[in-house]
Amino acid sequence: MTKFTTAHAGVRIRFLSFLGILFGALPLSGCFVSTTSLIPEGDAVLPIDGPVTVCLEENDPCFDMQISGDGYVTDGPATAQGRLRLSPLTQAGDRQVYLAEAESQDGGFVYLLARRAPDGMAPTGSFELAGVDCGDLPEKVFDMFEAAGGIYSGGLIKNCEPSDLDMLKATMIAGYGAFLADDAWWQVKGS
């Protein structure tokens, strides 16, 4: 399970290696991507008030992400430089779900889902991240995505590029909304 866990001076995040890849090499196959930020400047939220420590894998050195504007930024290792911003998506069960926008050092953007970890599963203030694949969308939702102006790029690397934030949020809710309150789904998507 990918989670943010409480640390001494701030918050410590346990990211899986795929998040390091997100920051270092965009785009990835099956991801929701964009060449420009879909979250307007100043509209992102900071559910963790303070610096965040990122640990990509157990044996790798950790690095800090500082609050800058409405996001978290890092000057970490070359494979993990970038910015992370969150926008409220929906309430699922008793937790807020966010659309997470990860910006790489080359200026591309990849979109994930984030939510608070289940009570009792992690320390207070913990979050989970879920990687979503546009190839997992039901055909009806994928058709809606394309009809609303979304671009699907096939070939060796397959990605979905939404036309705007509202369209991406509608696609996430239509495609994954039924699973957002399901702890088992988050554990699979976060691993």
Task: Report the range of poorest mean pLDDT among 5-9, 32-36, 82-86, 117-121.
Answer: 5-9
Where do we find the tokens 């943010």?
4
Output 162 or 82, whichever has higher pLDDT: 162
Tokens 């060796």 appear where? 156
- CA dist 165 → 32, 39, 161 (Å): 11, 6, 11
Strand pairing partners for 45? 86
Q: 10 Å Cβ neighbour count for 78?
A: 9
> Which alpha helices (DSSP H) does 131-182 contain, by range?
139-147, 165-176
- Residue 63 makes CB contacts below 8 A (sequence gap 6+) with 53, 54, 74, 75, 76, 77, 80
pLDDT category at 186 given cuts 50, 70, 90 is confident
Question: So what's the pLDDT on residue 34?
Answer: 93
Q: Is the model's pLDDT at 144 over the cut of 80?
A: yes
Say if residues 98 and 24 touch (Cβ distance below 8 Å): no
23-38: per-residue pLDDT in tens?
443 444 568 999 999 9
Of the pLDDT bands very low, low, confident and very high (cuts 50, 70, 90), residue 70 is very high
Hey, which of 64-68, 70-74, 165-169 has the most confident mean pLDDT? 165-169
Average model confidence (pLDDT) across the chain? 76
Q: What percent of the chain has pLDDT over 90?
A: 37
The rounded distance, in Å, linking the Cα atoms of 82 and 76 is 8
In one letter, which amino acid is 82? G
Mean pLDDT, rounded, for 58-73: 76
Q: What is the mean pLDDT of residues 118-122?
A: 50
Q: Checking DSSP bridges between strand 11-14 and strand 52-55, what pairing results, if any?
A: parallel
For 12-17, what is the mean pLDDT?
41
For residue 163, give both structure tokens. 């036309």
Confidence band of 143 (pLDDT split at 50, 70, 90): very high
Residue 150: pLDDT band (50, 70, 90) is very high
Are 102 and 93 a contacting pair, CB within 8 Å? Answer: no
Reading the block at residue 189, the tokens are 């998507």
Residue ranges of alpha helices (H) inside the chain are 17-24, 139-147, 165-176, 183-189
